[in-house]
């Protein structure tokens, strides 16, 4: 961890740590794609091409600035060697396109009904659990995971990202395509600084166990 | 001892960690093999132009050209090269597409077992 | 509270409760489960859950149970994505009809030994039925609100919505949007000659020829008013839009609908005005309509049965292709 001038402790990971996390999450989304493909009975493409870090306040601002009212989010809490609130975030229109495809192809996507919110929850649940189980498997640890909750990106759900400067967001870009519908979203892990350290300790001992470090 | 006659394996993966792991396990299993690495599809195709390997271990999700497309191109120009897709994408549809294109399939995570199976597939 | 009291409370719940041990074997379930599965828990206790419900093998539910036992992760299975996971029935008679209950299932790990996994099942049958009915009604409603009752193509409302949505998208992605205004030549004379009924028939044929002439899915001809039709094309520059316009013009001409009183030809023809822009922040969508209108008037001026474009470089109209 290093510090930048603004006084934030900008989390910096070395190349190998980032690389390892990227591979682990790709393992997770690979499993998630398999589970989703069983549901839609068709091929599902899911990839997590990049990892980055940011602060909750930056994300809150980015949400306020951009298509703020049009995001669909699924949140779950995980606890174990480190604690994290995981949030899967998709532009609502895209999420709708995919969901209406899965639920009822004849229905024009107009608005997210309760039905679709539930289904969105389940998709988030599948992706997040797959990522966490991949981490648990490879790190040889155990997490406890809560049930998923669905939120719209309105002011009420902003506290999802804390706002606590001592917290850090690990951001994974997510590309999901099902039957020609493609959505780009983000998977966010909200971690306290101590949890981030615990995560990195897991990564380091994983690398050591593989004899790479 | 490896010589220029020894089988050459090209490992294509954007993850350095993955390349290191595959390379290490293969070196243990087949000490006589030569091993080359590429971090993306374009580099891999260029490397194959210079010296065609016997075997290619190919990641699927990479920035730029996907591993699937690269594998297709290799099959077109160098049908004698044996390719294994090394991927966490374990869907049957992907597996079948790979197999029907004459490409082998090795599931990630990379473990001594999964790599041993890949080596067996190469030597079939 | 002792165990018997717990069990009694569980039996009063209007929700299915299933408890598994750490090997995924059934410990017990509540009266709700007995009622809707038709199986008493004492007959199946101690057996792996996938032996109790054989179809669970290779299912997502079993996968979720394994995730709860192995990783202590929770899951939800919704009726939308997993129709009728378990063989549960609202009424005994539904079993013969194979009409299963629609279910919402929660799978969570528990840490109160010997219970390792809790499955809760809610009956969603009524909700799903209501949802289906609402959906059916609303898609019917949407279809009729946006369709022109005479010609079956989009109506003015459809056009207004298409234009504003696509214009916004073109602006945010900074790509072209084109608008085609299509008008049947000398239609009044056609009506005067053949009567309104034949006039309506001609409009229906022109509308379907135009709609069928579109290649891209999602593109929609709308009736703008009277004998005027409109079409927005996202991602089409002037050249691409002109090609489409010319194809549409030829299609209508190709119908060979006799029109003896036309000043243009012996058949029904159309004139088309085109405008294409990459919208700037300041440009209102209405400008695109005025420009296409202007192009349409000049096509009429120059003898009809032709396509004209609004040229943005000189802010005037010129012939296409």
- Per-residue pLDDT tens for C188-221? 999 999 999 999 999 999 999 999 988 777 789 9
Decide if B27 touches A, using CB distance below 8 A.
no
pLDDT, residue B37, reads 97
pLDDT, residue A110, reads 54
Asked whether C222 and C156 are in contact (CB, 8 A), the reply is yes
CA distance, residue B64 to nearest chain A CA (Å): 11
What's the CA gap between B64 and B71, in Å, rounded? 14
User: Nearest by CB to A122, which of C78, C108, C134?
Assistant: C78
Query: Which carries the bigger pLDDT value, residue B124 or residue C41?
Result: C41
Residue B118 has pLDDT above 70, yes or no: yes
Predicted confidence band at A11 (pLDDT cuts at 50, 70, 90)? low
pLDDT in tens, C77-131: 998 888 889 999 999 889 888 899 999 999 999 988 889 999 999 999 998 888 8
Record: contact A125-C72, CB cut-off 8 A: no
Record: contact A142-C139, CB cut-off 8 A: no
Decide if C80 touches A, using CB distance below 8 A.
yes
Residue position matching structure tokens 């069983």: A38
Record: contact A30-B17, CB cut-off 8 A: no
pLDDT, residue C172, reads 86
Q: What integer is the mean pLDDT of B63-87?
A: 91
Residue position matching structure tokens 């839009």: C241
CA distance, residue B109 to nearest chain A CA (Å): 7
Residue A67 has pLDDT above 70, yes or no: no
Of the candidates C262, C132, C103, the residue with the CA atom closest to the CA atom of residue C193 = C262
User: Nearest by CB to A37, which of B24, B88, B93?
Assistant: B93
Within 10 angstroms of residue C141's Cβ, the number of other Cβ atoms is 10
* Mean pLDDT, all residues of chain A: 80
Q: What integer is the mean pLDDT of C52-70?
A: 91
Residue of A nearest to B25 (CA): A210
pLDDT, residue A105, reads 55
Record: contact B88-A27, CB cut-off 8 A: yes
Decide if A129 touches C, using CB distance below 8 A.
yes
Share of chain B above pLDDT 70, in %: 98
Contact B/C (≥3 CB pairs under 8 Å)? no
HSE-CB for A47 with a 13 A CA cutoff: 11
pLDDT, residue A7, reads 46
pLDDT, residue C320, reads 66
User: Nearest by CB to B24, which of A22, A28, A211?
Assistant: A211
pLDDT in tens, A16-29: 999 999 999 999 99
pLDDT, residue A1, reads 41
Domain boundaries, chain B: 8-123
Q: If DSSP states are collapsed to H, E and C, what string results for chain C?
A: CCHHHHHHHHHHCCCEEEEECCCCEEEEECHHHHHHHCCCHHHHCCCEHHHHCHHHCCCHHHHHHHHHHHHCCCEEECCCCCCCCCCCCCCHHHHHHCCCCCEEEEEEECCCCCCCEEEEEEECHHHHHHHHHHHHHHHHHHHHHCECCCCCCECHHHHHHHHHHHHHHHHHHCCCEEEEEEEECCHHHHHHHHCHHHHHHHHHHHHHHHHHCCCCCCCCCEEEECCEEEEEEECCCHHHHHHHHHHHHHHHHHCCCECCCCCCCCECCEEEEEEEECCCCCCCHHHHHHHHHHHHHHHHHCCCCCEEEEECCCCEEEECC
Residue of C nearest to A149 (CA): C76
Phi, psi dihedrals of residue C31, rounded to the nearest 5°: -60, -35
pLDDT, residue A6, reads 47
Residue of C nearest to A34 (CA): C60
Share of chain A above pLDDT 70, in %: 77
User: Nearest by CB to A119, which of C70, C71, C80?
Assistant: C80
Residue of B nearest to A27 (CA): B88
Predicted confidence band at B119 (pLDDT cuts at 50, 70, 90)? very high
Record: contact A33-B17, CB cut-off 8 A: no
pLDDT in tens, A68-77: 457 788 999 9
CA distance, residue C271 to nearest chain A CA (Å): 33
ipTM of the prediction:
0.83
pLDDT in tens, C36-49: 999 999 999 999 99
Q: In chain A, what are the domains?
A: 15-209 (3.40.1550.10)
Q: What integer is the mean pLDDT of C14-28?
A: 96
pLDDT, residue A158, reads 58
pLDDT in tens, C229-245: 999 999 999 999 999 99
Asked whether C244 and C174 are in contact (CB, 8 A), the reply is no
What's the CA gap between C241 and C294, in Å, rounded? 16
Q: What integer is the mean pLDDT of A96-116?
A: 64
CA distance, residue A174 to nearest chain B CA (Å): 12
Residues 143-202, chain A, touching C (beta carbon < 8 A): 143-148
| Chain C positions in Cβ-Cβ contact with residue A104 (cut-off 8 Å) | 135
Residues 6+ apart with CB under 8 A from A185: A88, A89, A90, A91, A94, A95, A173, A174, A176
Residue B11 has pLDDT above 80, yes or no: yes
pLDDT in tens, A76-94: 999 999 999 999 988 877 7
pLDDT, residue C314, reads 64
Residues 6+ apart with CB under 8 A from C60: A35, A38, A39, C77, C82, C85
Q: In chain C, what are the domains?
A: 3-129 (3.30.450.20), 147-319 (3.30.70.270)
pLDDT, residue C316, reads 67
User: Nearest by CB to C76, which of A38, A99, A122?
Assistant: A122
CA distance, residue B15 to nearest chain A CA (Å): 6
Beta bridge partners of C120: C17, C106
Query: Considering the domain B8-123 in this protein, what is its CATH number?
Result: 3.40.50.2300
Residues 6+ apart with CB under 8 A from A176: A44, A45, A46, A98, A182, A183, A184, A185
Phi, psi dihedrals of residue A45, rounded to the nearest 5°: -105, 125
What's the CA gap between A133 and A127, in Å, rounded? 10
What's the CA gap between C292 and C311, in Å, rounded? 10
Record: contact A29-B63, CB cut-off 8 A: no
What's the CA gap between A119 and C137, in Å, rounded? 21
User: Nearest by CB to B17, which of A30, A33, A212?
Assistant: A212
Q: Tokens standing for C36?
A: 């809707």
User: Nearest by CB to C80, which of A103, A125, A136?
Assistant: A103
pLDDT in tens, C255-297: 999 999 999 999 999 999 999 999 988 888 989 999 999 999 9
Asked whether B102 and B58 are in contact (CB, 8 A), the reply is no
Record: contact C81-A113, CB cut-off 8 A: no
Alpha helix ranges (H) inside B1-124: 16-29, 41-50, 67-77, 92-100, 112-123
User: What is the enclosing helix (H) or strand (E) of A39?
Assistant: helix A15-40
Q: What integer is the mean pLDDT of C151-169?
A: 91
């Amino acid at each position: 961890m290093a510090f930048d001038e603004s006084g934030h402790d900008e989390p910096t990971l070395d190349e190998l740590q980032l690389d390892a996390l990227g591979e682990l999450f790709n393992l997770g989304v690979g499993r998630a794609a398999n589970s989703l493909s069983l549901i839609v009975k068709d091929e599902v493409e899911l990839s997590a091409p990049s990892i980055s870090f940011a602060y909750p306040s930056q994300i809150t601002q980015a949400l306020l600035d951009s298509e703020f009212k049009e995001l669909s989010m699924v949140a779950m809490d995980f606890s174990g060697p480190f604690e994290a609130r995981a949030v899967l975030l998709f532009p609502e229109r895209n999420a709708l396109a995919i969901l209406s495809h899965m639920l009822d192809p004849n229905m024009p996507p107009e608005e997210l009904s309760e039905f679709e919110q539930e289904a969105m929850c389940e998709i988030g649940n599948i992706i997040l659990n797959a990522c966490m189980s991949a981490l648990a498997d490879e790190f040889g640890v155990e997490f406890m995971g809560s049930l998923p909750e669905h939120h719209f990106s309105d002011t009420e759900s902003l506290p999802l990202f804390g706002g606590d400067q001592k917290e850090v967001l690990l951001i994974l870009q997510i590309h999901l395509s099902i039957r020609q519908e493609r959505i780009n979203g983000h998977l966010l892990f909200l971690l306290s600084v101590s949890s981030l350290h615990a995560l990195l300790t897991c990564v380091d001992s994983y690398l050591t166990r593989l004899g790479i470090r | 001892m490896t010589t220029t006659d020894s089988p050459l394996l090209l490992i294509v993966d954007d993850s350095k960690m993955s390349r290191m792991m595959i390379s290490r396990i293969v070196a243990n299993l087949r000490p006589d093999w030569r091993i080359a690495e590429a971090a993306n599809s374009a580099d891999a195709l260029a490397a194959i132009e210079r010296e065609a390997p016997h075997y290619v271990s190919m990641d699927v999700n990479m920035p730029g050209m996907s591993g699937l497309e690269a594998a297709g191109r290799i099959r077109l120009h160098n049908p004698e090269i044996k390719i294994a897709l090394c991927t966490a994408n374990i869907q049957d549809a992907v597996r079948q597409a790979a197999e029907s294109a004459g490409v082998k399939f090795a599931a990630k995570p990379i473990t001594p077992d999964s790599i041993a199976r890949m080596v067996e597939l190469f030597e079939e | 509270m002792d165990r018997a009291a717990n069990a009694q409370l569980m039996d009063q719940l209007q929700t299915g409760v299933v408890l598994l041990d750490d090997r995924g074997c059934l410990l017990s379930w509540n009266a709700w489960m007995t009622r809707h599965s038709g199986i008493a828990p004492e007959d199946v206790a101690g057996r792996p859950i996938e032996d109790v419900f054989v179809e669970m093998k290779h299912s997502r539910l079993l996968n979720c149970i394994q995730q709860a036992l192995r990783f202590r992760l929770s899951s939800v299975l919704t009726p939308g994505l997993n129709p009728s996971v378990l063989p549960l029935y609202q009424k005994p008679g539904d079993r013969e009809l194979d009409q299963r209950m629609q279910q919402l299932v929660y799978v969570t790990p528990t840490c109160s030994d010997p219970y390792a996994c809790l499955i809760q099942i809610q009956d969603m049958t009524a909700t799903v039925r209501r949802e289906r009915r609402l959906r059916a009604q609303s898609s019917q409603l949407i279809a009729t609100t946006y369709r022109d009752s005479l010609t079956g193509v989009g109506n003015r409302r459809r056009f207004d919505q298409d234009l504003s949505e696509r214009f916004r998208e073109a602006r945010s992605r900074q790509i072209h949007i084109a608008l085609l205004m299509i008008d049947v030549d000398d239609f009044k004379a056609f009506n005067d000659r053949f009567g309104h009924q034949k006039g309506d028939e001609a409009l229906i044929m022109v509308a379907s020829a135009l709609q069928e002439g579109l290649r891209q899915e999602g593109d929609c001809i709308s009736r703008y008013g009277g004998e005027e039709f409109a079409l927005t094309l996202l991602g089409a520059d002037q050249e691409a839009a002109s090609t489409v316009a010319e194809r549409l013009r030829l299609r209508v001409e190709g119908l060979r609908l006799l029109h003896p009183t036309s000043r243009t030809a012996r058949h029904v023809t159309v004139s088309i005005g085109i405008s294409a822009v990459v919208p700037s922040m300041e440009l209102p969508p209405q400008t695109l309509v005025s420009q296409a209108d202007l192009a349409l008037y000049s096509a009429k001026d120059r003898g009809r049965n032709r396509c004209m474009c609004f040229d943005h470089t000189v802010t005037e109209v010129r012939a296409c292709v």
